Chain A
Amino acid sequence: DTAVSQTPKYLVTQMGNDKSIKCEQNLGHDTMYWYKQDSKKFLKIMFSYNNKELIINETVPNRFSPKSPDKAHLNLHINSLELGDSAVYFCASSQAPGELFFGEGSRLTVL
């Protein structure tokens, strides 16, 4: 039973399209995150929610919009996709500070 699951695992799309990535955790954690990992493997936090409340909103284009319908789900919607959005997007959750459980990642390729 996967602890943090993301769908889809792969997305290939054209520039200008809109796409969503879904994330669900069954660990009962209060905090969820979206991280972006670029082609050089550098990890950068994008958003964090605690009990459905946005607590971290890093310098991310407005085209990226997170949504947390409940504390077990954190989705990421991306409008007007650009080439530079190509990356692996990781969802994570935590209860203890800093101990994150990561999903397997969603690899987005924008053509």
Chain B
Amino acid sequence: AQSVAQPEDQVNVAEGNPLTVKCTYSVSGNPYLFWYVQYPNRGLQFLLKYITGDNLVKGSYGFEAEFNKSQTSFHLKKPSALVSDSALYFCAVRDPSGAGSYQLTFGKGTKLSVIP
């Protein structure tokens, strides 16, 4: 079974500082990994994905994420945080093999607060 862990319920960062939101995963095959963002009272929005290739993937709003196979991690990063980045961030994994190949499993979410 595939699973995702987001070890931090909340991350606080000062505006202009770099931010990292952590994610680790567990799948039986090669993972497809995703980050989504949810603003208050809104649906989730896709940020970026890793399927294969370069371990550093770039996404929307200046976000990027680094895939690390040995550490089974896919941390979300941004060089300079904005107050408008404050939101709930979800990591998700899809195992493209086996019965769960259609299924996207989400982590429990990390609330990012960017302090002015």
Chain A interface residues toward B at CB < 8 A? 4, 31, 40-45, 48, 50, 55-56, 90, 92, 97-105
Does B109 lie within 8 Å of A103, measured CB to CB? Answer: no
Residues in A with CB closer than 8 Å to B105 are 45
Stretch at the interface among B16-24, B40-48, B68-76: B40-48
**Which one of B41, B44, B49 contacts A98 once the chains associate, using CB atoms below 8 Å?**
B49
Residues in A with CB closer than 8 Å to B96 are 97
Chain B interface residues toward A at CB < 8 A? 32, 34, 36, 38, 41-46, 49, 88, 90, 92, 94, 96, 102-106, 108-109
Residues in B with CB closer than 8 Å to A55 are 102
Question: In the docked arrangement, what's the CA distance between A103 and B38, Å?
Answer: 11
Does B88 lie within 8 Å of A102, measured CB to CB? Answer: no
Question: In the docked arrangement, what's the CA distance between A48 and B104, Å?
Answer: 11
Q: Name 11 A/B residue pairs within 8 A (Cβ), A-sorted.
A: A4-B43, A31-B102, A41-B38, A45-B105, A97-B94, A97-B96, A98-B49, A99-B46, A99-B49, A102-B44, A105-B41
Does B43 lie within 8 Å of A98, measured CB to CB? Answer: no
Residues in A with CB closer than 8 Å to B92 are 98
**Which one of B32, B90, B94, B103 contacts A43 once the chains associate, using CB atoms below 8 Å?**
B90
CB-CB nearest in chain A for B104? A98
Q: Which 9 A/B pairs are nearest by Cβ-Cβ distance? A: A102-B43, A43-B106, A102-B44, A98-B94, A41-B109, A104-B43, A98-B34, A98-B32, A99-B46
Does B32 lie within 8 Å of A97, measured CB to CB? Answer: yes
Whole-angstrom distance from the CB of B112 to the nearest CB of chain A?
A: 13
Whole-angstrom distance from the CB of A90 to the nearest CB of chain B?
A: 6
On whether A48 and B43 interact (CB within 8 A), knowing A41-B108, A97-B32, A98-B94, the answer reads no
Does A56 lie within 8 Å of B102, measured CB to CB? Answer: yes
Does A102 lie within 8 Å of B90, measured CB to CB? Answer: no
CB-CB nearest in chain A for B46? A99
Whole-angstrom distance from the CB of A54 to the nearest CB of chain B?
A: 11
Does A50 lie within 8 Å of B43, measured CB to CB? Answer: no
